[in-house]
Amino acid sequence: SQVWVAAIRAADLAPNDATRIQHNQSCIALYNLDGRFYATAGICTHAHAFLSEGYINGQTIECPLHQGLFHIPTGKPLSPPVTEALKTYQTKIEQGTVYVLVD
Ligand code: FES
């Protein structure tokens, strides 16, 4: 079953920055895109790299290891070598805290 998990304070993640949290077995990347918060799988689908250490450009994240690109809101792969989508998670903000819907 799905549950909302408190992840971070919204104020602690600057616009156009990313961070990661660990929830049970899942590593999750959180992004602040101009004040809207998104969450995806935290590890690249190509090899073991933390996407939170990559480069945000608009709505895309560039993997720090081989520069594969993903669309953050949908997790879709946009350029080689990534071919597999990232899992995405719903987010919400309540009283300044960002929550992620995890299963
Ligand atoms: Fe991300 Fe290779 S590990 S592109």
Domain range list for the chain: 3-102
| Structure tokens belonging to residue 51 | 């996407």
pLDDT one-digit tens code per residue, 13-49: 999 999 999 999 999 999 999 999 999 999 999 999 9
One-letter amino acid identity for 24?
A: N
Phi, psi of 23 (to 5 degrees): -130, 115
Residue with tokens 């408190």: 6
Mutate to test the pocket of ligand 1, among 53, 63, 78, 84 (most ligand atoms within 8 A of CB): 63
**The CATH number of domain 3-102 is 3.40.50.2020:** no
Whether the CB of 77 sits within 6 Å of ligand 1 = no
Whether the CB of 9 sits within 6 Å of ligand 1 = no
| CB count in 10 Å sphere of residue 24 | 7
pLDDT one-digit tens code per residue, 53-82: 999 999 999 999 999 999 999 999 999 999
ipTM of the complex: 0.99
Q: How far is ligand 1, taken at its centre, from the CA of residue 94, in Å?
A: 33
Residue with tokens 């990313």: 18
| CB count in 10 Å sphere of residue 78 | 14
